[in-house]
Homo-oligomer: A and B are copies of this chain.
């Protein structure tokens, strides 16, 4: 873990190959100064580890769990089954079906055990982290202010890009 503070967010992924995608989430959390931890644990290859991770999440101080998985992406559901913390799912694009399988496996949870899904791949990783920050910001005025600043920065970024395109682009 890259922060001295106790982690508030857990980023769990089914395979270390998901790290390419999920490092985007880590970057967002670091930028917001939110302490987090990274965990590799598979619903299928290490069920006991996954279950243990989910069951001890609250007592270890986690507030939100971000879960990334691809293909038959069961990891989010399996973790949500064992904790009452909010679980955010990030569908990882799979080799053959472009993440449609990952998305449907994650998002189509039965009533009773929620997993809330963001978009497939890197935009989803970024948004899962931002969503976690939004949750934490409900009890943290500084984070709330940072989110407002982030939103303003997004709008400014658009303005700058629009200005540049109008200036530079020659038809």
Contact A108 B117 (CB under 8 A): no
Cross-chain contact B104 with A45 (CB below 8 angstroms):
no
A40 touches B2 (CB 8 A): no
Interface residues on A, range: 35 or more
Given contacts A96-B99, A112-B130, A134-B114, contact A45 B82 (CB under 8 A): no
Tell me, in angstroms, the Cα distance from A29 to B81 when the chains sit together.
20
Q: Indicate whether A157 sits within 8 Å of B45 (C-beta atoms), given known contacts A97-B98, A117-B116.
A: yes
Which of chain A's residues 56-102 have a Cβ closer than 8 Å to chain B? 63, 70-74, 77-78, 80-82, 84-86, 88, 93-101
Contact of A77 among B74, B95, B118, B131 (CB under 8 A): B74
Bound CA–CA A154/B48 (angstroms): 12
Cβ–Cβ contact A123 & B109, under 8 A:
yes
* Complex interface: chain B residues within 8 A of A142 (CB): none
Docked CA distance A72–B82 (Å): 16
Measured between C-beta atoms, what is the minimum distance from A152 to chain B in Å? 10
Residues of B within 8 A of A80 (CB): 44
A108 to B113, alpha carbons, bound, how many Å?
22
Q: Could you say which residues of chain B place their CB within 8 Å of the CB of A16?
A: 161-162, 164-165
